[in-house]
Amino acid sequence: MRAYEVFARFHRGEPLRHLGSVRSVDGEAALEAAVSIYLRRDAFERVWVVERGGVSEMVTDEEREKRRMAETEYRRPSYFTRRLASSGYRAAKLTLE
């Protein structure tokens, strides 16, 4: 028996979401188990199962992420606040070192 991670979605076009995991002998059995445990027979549009052993994972630390976002705010539309002044154009004096 091996652990399988279960992903599913209920309507076409949605991204698949992780629902949890099941223990089964193979992929077929894992699909059946996933449906019976997590999904009523006709509720879902698509189910994926994959052996947990086949998953590679990366977990980040919150500190690094907060810093990374602060460091790269130049990538966000909100970083550019200069507006086209309605009454003709006046450039805000913005020193860009």
- β 2-9/46-51 pair status: antiparallel
Instruction: Name which of a second copy, other proteins, none residue 36 binds, using a CB cut-off of 5 to 8 Å depending on partner kind.
Output: other proteins
| Identity of the residue, 65 or 85, whose beta carbon is nearer to a second copy in the bound complex | 65
The structure tokens listed for 46 are 């698509």
Long-range own/partner contacts, residues 36-45 (CB < 8 A, 24 or more apart): 38/6, 38/8, 39/8, 43/10, 44/8, 44/9, 44/10, 45/9, 45/10, 45/11, 45/12, 45/14
In the complex, least distance from residue 47 CB atom to other proteins, rounded to whole angstroms = 12
55 lies in the site for other proteins, by CB under 8 A: no
Positions touching other proteins (CB under 8 A) are 1, 3, 12-13, 15, 20-25, 28-29, 32-33, 35-38, 40-41, 46, 57, 59, 61, 63-64, 67-68, 71-72, 74-77, 79-80, 82, 84, 86-91, 93-97
